[in-house]
Each structure stands twice: as C-alpha cells, then as structure tokens.
C-alpha cells in the first residue's frame, strides 16, 4: 500500500436533503469495495466504514493517476447534518470532508441549502453528488462505471438533459455564493466545487466521488491530516449507548494517536470532566464471523482514524459530541483543562432579547444558533440537554411575546416542563421540537408571524378609527341628556364609545349608543344613516342640524395608525384621517407626529 504512517485517514460525512440518497450512497460505497480482498477490503468500524485507498484507485475514477499518500477514507455511517455537527473537534467539525447529495431531478431543497451553509461555516471542503442520474428517461446503465465511461455511452438527448440539470445546479450554487463546475472541468479545486453526477443505485459516478475526495484531501489538507500514530489518543464521542453486558459505552471516532485498553482517559459530562480507565475496546465482528454470538470483537489497541466502542466505568452522563483524550505521563492537568475548555467554549452569541435554545450536543447547539443568527433571530439562552421546568419558567419571564419560545433540537421535553406550561406565568410559552433545523426555524417563524398578526389585530381593535358624520334635518329625536340625532356617515367607520368634535375642532361630547332601524349596533360604515346618542351637547346650542363632526382620535392613536397600520385602513378611512389630521395640524403642525 502507498501509505505513509504520518498521514491519517480523512473523515468524511454525507449530507443532503431527505430522500435524496445519502443512505443509498453510503451503502453503495460500502458495498462496492468489499469484492476484491486483494485490494484490501473495506473494514467496518463502530459508526464508520473505512474504504482503503487501493480499493478506490482500482475503480478507475477520475484522477486515478494521482500519486496517493493517504491510506483511504473513513465514512461516518450516520448521514446528515446532525452527525456532522455532533462530531465537533478542535473548534470545528471532526469531518475533514463532506459529500453533499442532491437529487439531480429535484434540485436544491431547504436541507441542501442548510448543509451548504453549515459546511461554509465550518470551512469544510466538499463535493456535490448530483444523484439519481439513472432516473433520467432513457438512461443506459453501466453498473459501477466511472462517470466519463457511462456518459460516453448515453445518447445525445440524455447527455443534453444531464448538462442542463448540472447547469441548473451550477446556477443555484452561484446564487448561494459558490463557484462550481462538473468535476472533470474543474481546474482549481480550491476555488470551484466539483459536481459529480452519480447513481447510488447503479454505482455510476461513485468512483469519481471517491477520487475527488482523495484529491481534495491530498491537495488541500494534508497538514490537517498529519498525526502522530504513537501519541496519546484524541477523539470525539459520536454516541453514548447502553450495551448488554457492557453497561454504558461510548462510540468514539479517534482522529489522532493511539487508544489502548488500560489507558486513562478524560471525557466530558454536561459541566464537568470525567476521568476513567478503558476496560475494553470493541470493534464490529467481520461479516464472515456473523455466526459467533458476541456482537463485538475485542481489540487491545487502535490508531487513528478509526471508529471504536469504548467500555469503561463511570461513563453515564457523558454527552455526545464531546472530546475524549488519553492521559499519558505528565500531561494530565493540561488534558483535563483542554477537555474542560472544549465543553465550556460554546460558540453561541447571546442576545439580550431572544429565544431559548436547547440541543443534544454542543455542535448541534452551535449550528442551530448560527442559523437563527443568519435570520436575525436572537438567542437569549443556549444549553445542551433536555427542556426542563426551569427553562419553561425562565422563558415565561421574557417580556417580548414574540420570543417566548423554546427551540429544542433533537432533545426531549421533560414531563415536569410540560406541566409547567400549564402554569399562568408560563402559559404563553411555546416549545418547538424536532430533528431538522430548517423545519424548526420555519415552524418558529410561522408561529411568530401569526403572533405578530394577532398582536396587531388586538392593537388595531383598541384604536379609535376615523369617521365623519353630518346631522340630518328632521331627525332630532331628543334635544339633550343625551342628545339623540340621526346622522349620515360621510366617510370612515363610525364606532360607539368615542368622542366627537366639530370640523373646527370644538368638542361636542361622547357618542354612547348607535341604532340602525331600532337595533343597537356598535359600528357602521360610510354611507349608512344611523341614530346616535351623544352625552354632553344640547341640539340648538353646541350642535345643529347639518353640522359635520369627526370622531376625536387621540393623538397617540394617530401616531400608531399613521406609522404602522395605514395600509389596513380602507380608502374612505384614510381620506377622513387625512382631513382630520389636517384640521388638527392647522393649529399645531407637529400634532400626532
């Protein structure tokens, strides 16, 4: 094998929109290289699969003439953003490279865009697999062939469709600020994202995806891949799992050094570090030994990069996404401190006003907060762990009702937190739960918009609306206490329980009741003729037949209406408001401004 011991296997994550083919692509990658044992069969790790370099170069994809110095590729078995962000290491993601799968027939979807944003944030190099090319009508399958081979065998029409679809992807990527090209046309991989047409079902294009990943790793990140095989092991906890007969175990991706049975290790809980001793290291049994009852094979020692299960005492309470470090010799204090720093160093900018966010891992919390930030939504509190009663009570104290929400990513709400929602102080709190960031954000934004509309509606209902009336002749039903007269509504919307003024601004009195054909009503539109009772004036003295009156709108109501609600007023109401404010502003030009 063309391997130098100084360079470790790059770690790769597969991301993309639901159903675009992430799992199938991983399955194909795992399946396609098992065949030839001489080439070095793939090995199944815990939570990961290693595809050795010789297996890849033999597939004949693009760049196969490249002199390769990396040992292979380690694929994280769980696809998706969540695994990617959980694998937090050294301030970034543990994944060195990523494949973004996009269904070429469907194009970009919200989770594709989210994946790209996350990769941009983490500065992770990636290739795009434009998947499901075999679904193009008329496609002729060449099982497991490199793209160039299979493309040459397609007819012109199919080739044309492939080109058009790729062109659409290039356009969309450009809108998002990425330069991209079909992989065989890329000259500078540092500037252009390579798009590889693939089929996760027929295996076409897969050799090229693998070669592109190797090319990227070799050219742009060999420095990051340098490691010391003999050094103390460093890894990230992918999952915390109960295993029968073993107790709590950790599935760990080891990215540096060596981890051995008997090693003293430091791992992390919510707030504190845990020091313990490795009791056993476990790998999956090879497929050929499937009949042996034990699920795992015990090993004495592993080197990076690999996926391994660690059994040790005191692992309850360890959280996924946190580091694992081996203590060796004098480095004890430094290592404990580093682990402590990593768990405390949560990269979330907190705002004075904002929502509360919770997630199951630090990486997920950071990814969620970055997405919120990019939409201008503040975060007041960010914590790893389930939604607790305390979270609910605290959210209940948030003054701005638009932020009285808890966004919980991949983490449950505890029963007493649900009970707390019933308490009066927390009755306005909403909890959004889910495992897809963009869906959570959509739900929250939709809720916030509805709440905003509701608040506006309530505010609107409290405002005094403009109206103008004229007292009709022969319709004075009562002179005073209260005066009852017939009026015609000349414009706007007349409501009860408002004050009236004459068109010269003089006060008239309080409109108490309104009737239309002997029926009591509370509002009436322009054009209607109604009887109204007014407390205060006497007909013949303060008011007379044919007098015109406005509803007296308080100055602060005018401010709100003019600034925020003008578009919700009918044309007739707007005209009357204009007349009314001009009357007021004749005396005071700044009235209501």
Ligand X SMILES: Nc1nc2c(ncn2[C@@H]2O[C@H](COP(=O)(O)OP(=O)(O)OP(=O)(O)O)[C@@H](O)[C@H]2O)c(=O)[nH]1
Nearer to ligand X, 49 or 273 (CB): 49
Nearer to ligand X, 14 or 234 (CB): 14
| Residues in contact with ligand X, shown as a per-residue x/- string from 486 to 525 under the rule CB under 6 A | ----------------------------------------
Q: Candidates 139-147, 198-206, 307-315, 339-347 — which segment interacts with ligand X by CB under 6 A?
A: 198-206
Chain-centre distance for alpha carbon 552? 48
The least CB distance from residue 200 to ligand X, in Å, is: 4
State whether residue 432 is helix, strand or coil.
strand
CA distance 522 to 300: 85
CA distance 140 to 157: 12
Residue 140: enclosing H or E segment and its boundaries?
Answer: none
Nearer to ligand X, 22 or 325 (CB): 22
Nearer to ligand X, 24 or 395 (CB): 24
The least CB distance from residue 279 to ligand X, in Å, is: 34
Strands of the 430-434 sheet, one edge to the other: 379-384, 355-359, 405-409, 430-434
The least CB distance from residue 153 to ligand X, in Å, is: 17
Strand partners, 296: 284
Nearer to ligand X, 205 or 491 (CB): 205
Nearer to ligand X, 23 or 228 (CB): 23
Placement of tokens 């906890």 in the chain: 237
Phi then psi for residue 128, to 5 deg, are: -105, 130
* Annotated binding-site members: 16-23, 77-81, 131-134
Nearer to ligand X, 20 or 584 (CB): 20
- Quick check: 56 and 81 in contact, CB under 8 A? no
Phi then psi for residue 54, to 5 deg, are: -65, -35
Report the residue closest to ligand X, judged by CB: 21
Decide: is 332 part of the binding site for ligand X (CB under 6 A): no
Q: ω into residue 305 within 30 of 0, thus cis?
A: yes
The least CB distance from residue 115 to ligand X, in Å, is: 11
The least CB distance from residue 467 to ligand X, in Å, is: 58
3-state helix, strand, coil in the chain (%, to 5): 35, 30, 35
- Quick check: 12 and 74 in contact, CB under 8 A? yes
- Quick check: 266 and 232 in contact, CB under 8 A? no
State whether residue 228 is helix, strand or coil.
coil
Site for ligand X in 50-79 (CB under 6 A): 79
* In 270-311, alpha helices (H): none
State whether residue 575 is helix, strand or coil.
helix
Q: Which of 15, 46, 201, 463 binds ligand X (CB under 6 A)?
A: 201
Q: Which of 13, 100, 200, 426 binds ligand X (CB under 6 A)?
A: 200
* In 52-178, alpha helices (H): 53-57, 81-86, 110-122, 147-152, 156-175
Contacts of 496 by beta carbon, 8 Å cutoff, 6+ apart: 511, 512, 513, 514, 522, 523, 532
| Residues in contact with ligand X, shown as a per-residue x/- string from 81 to 100 under the rule CB under 6 A | --------------------
Placement of tokens 């950071």 in the chain: 366
Q: Candidates 13-21, 220-228, 230-238, 342-350 — which segment interacts with ligand X by CB under 6 A?
A: 13-21
The least CB distance from residue 199 to ligand X, in Å, is: 4
* Annotated binding-site members for GTP: 16-23, 77-81, 131-134
Nearer to ligand X, 23 or 338 (CB): 23
Using CB under 6 A as the binding criterion, the count of chain residues that bind ligand X stands at: 16
Nearer to ligand X, 14 or 487 (CB): 14
Site for ligand X in 113-172 (CB under 6 A): 131-132, 134-135
Nearer to ligand X, 141 or 351 (CB): 141
CA distance 543 to 539: 5
Tell me, what DSSP letter sits at residue 34? Answer: T
Residue 585: enclosing H or E segment and its boundaries?
Answer: helix 571-587
SS3 sequence of 453-494: HHHHHHHHHHCCCCEEEEEEEEEEEECCCCEEEEEEEEEEEE
The least CB distance from residue 19 to ligand X, in Å, is: 4
The least CB distance from residue 367 to ligand X, in Å, is: 17
The least CB distance from residue 436 to ligand X, in Å, is: 9
The least CB distance from residue 571 to ligand X, in Å, is: 51
Site for ligand X in 14-33 (CB under 6 A): 16, 18-24
Enumerate binding residues for ligand X (CB under 6 A): 16, 18-24, 79, 131-132, 134-135, 199-201
């Amino acid at each position: 094998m063309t391997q130098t011991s100084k360079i470790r296997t790059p770690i790769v994550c597969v991301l993309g929109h639901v159903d675009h083919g992430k799992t199938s692509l991983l399955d194909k990658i795992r399946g396609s290289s098992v065949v030839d044992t001489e080439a070095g069969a793939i090995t199944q790790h815990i939570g990961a699969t290693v595809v050795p370099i010789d297996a890849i170069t033999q597939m004949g994809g693009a760049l196969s003439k490249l002199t390769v110095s990396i040992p292979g590729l380690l694929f994280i078995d769980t696809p998706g953003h969540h695994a990617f962000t959980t694998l937090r290491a050294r301030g970034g993601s543990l994944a060195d490279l990523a494949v973004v799968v996009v269904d070429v027939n469907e194009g970009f979807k919200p989770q594709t865009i989210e994946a790209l944003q996350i990769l941009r944030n983490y500065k992770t190099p990636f290739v795009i697999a434009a998947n499901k090319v075999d679904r193009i009508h008329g496609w002729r399958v060449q099982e497991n062939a490199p793209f160039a081979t299979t493309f040459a065998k397609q007819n012109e029409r199919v080739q044309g469709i492939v080109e058009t679809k790729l062109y659409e992807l290039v356009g969309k990527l450009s809108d998002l600020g990425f330069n991209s090209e079909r992989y065989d046309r890329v000259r500078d991989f540092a500037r252009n994202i390579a798009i590889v047409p693939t089929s996760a079902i027929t295996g076409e294009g897969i050799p090229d995806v693998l070669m592109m990943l190797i090319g990227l790793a070799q050219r742009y990140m060999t420095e990051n891949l340098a490691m010391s095989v003999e050094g103390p092991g460093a890894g990230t906890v992918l999952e915390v799992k109960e295993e029968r007969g073993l107790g709590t175990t950790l599935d760990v991706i080891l990215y540096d050094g060596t981890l051995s049975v008997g090693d003293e290790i430091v791992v992390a809980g919510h707030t504190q570090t845990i020091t313990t001793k490795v009791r056993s290291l476990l790998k999956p049994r090879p497929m050929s030994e499937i009949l042996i009852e034990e699920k795992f094979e015990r090993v004495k020692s592993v080197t990076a990069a690999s996926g391994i299960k660690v059994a040790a005492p005191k692992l309850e309470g360890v959280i996924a996404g946190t580091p694992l470090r081996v203590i060796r010799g004098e480095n004890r204090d430094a290592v404990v401190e580093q682990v402590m720093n990593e768990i405390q160093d949560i990269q979330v900018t907190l705002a004075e006003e904002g929502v509360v966010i919770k997630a199951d891992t630090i990486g997920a919390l950071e990814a969620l907060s970055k997405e919120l930030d990019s939409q201008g939504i503040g975060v007041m509190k960010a914590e790893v762990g389930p939604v607790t009663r305390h979270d609910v009570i605290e959210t209940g104290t948030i003054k701005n009702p638009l932020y009285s929400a808890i966004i919980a990513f991949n983490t449950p709400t505890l029963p007493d937190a649900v009970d707390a929602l019933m308490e009066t102080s927390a009755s306005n709190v909403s909890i959004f739960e889910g495992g897809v960031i963009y869906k959570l954000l959509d739900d929250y934004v939709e809720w916030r918009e509805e709440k905003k509309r509701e608040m506006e509606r309530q505010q609107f209902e409290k405002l005094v609306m403009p109206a103008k009336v004229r007292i009709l002749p022969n319709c004075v039903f009562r002179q005073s206490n209260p005066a009852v007269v017939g009026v015609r509504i000349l414009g706007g919307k007349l409501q009860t329980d408002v004050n009236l003024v004459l068109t010269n601004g003089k006060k008239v009195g309080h409109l108490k009741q309104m009737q239309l054909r002997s029926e009591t009503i509370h509002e009436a539109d322009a054009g209607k003729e109604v009887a109204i009772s007014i407390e205060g004036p006497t007909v013949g003295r303060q008011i007379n037949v044919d007098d015109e009156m406005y509803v007296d709108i308080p100055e602060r109501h005018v401010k709100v209406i003019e600034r925020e609600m003008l578009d919700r007023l009918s044309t007739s109401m707007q005209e009357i408001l204009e007349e009314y404010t001009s009357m007021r502003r004749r005396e005071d030009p700044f009235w209501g401004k």
